[in-house]
Amino acid sequence: MERTLILLKPDALQRGIAGKILTRFEDKGLKVVGLKLMTMSPDLAATHYAAHKARPFYAGLVRFMTSSPIVALALEGNDAIAICRKMMGATFGNTAEPGTIRGDFGVSRSYNLIHGSDSAAAAERELGLFFPEGVVQWDYHAFRWIYDAEDELGG
């Protein structure tokens, strides 16, 4: 099992499509182990996006991410990071494939609805930022019907 962080950005909430996006992840079979509606502080945005600090879009990105509430999700499943990245689609909605979140709901090069961890190391770091209290451990019985992996799941 792998965990990843997903952020539903201010544009997803302002457009009223956060539930539709969350449903896609649940429909795929990913387990929600953390869910938080929050307003990102400038300090958290600066820490989360520190790798982009020297880029020209950084100030606008921080301003955007702190402008309105976001939803932080911690998702769990086999290959959760790769699955979520594929479901999200290309960074810009105008080039994302139909069937992906950005391809179906986005057209902007600035507002791209969603962030997802891009590696296991990033997921660990990001989950620590957004869920410092940890995530919820619970038995998701649907995994037995989602994965053909009884040995992996302790069955």
C-alpha distance across the termini of the chain, in Å: 15
2, exposed or middle or buried, with CB in 10 Å at 0-12, 13-18, 19+? middle
The C-alpha angle with vertex 118 and arms to 17 and 135, in degrees rounded to 5, equals: 70
Q: Is 52 marked active-site? A: no
Strands, E, within 2-121: which ranges? 2-8, 31-38, 70-77, 114-116
In the set 48, 52, 115, 141, the catalytic residue is: 115
Catalytic positions, written as ranges? 115
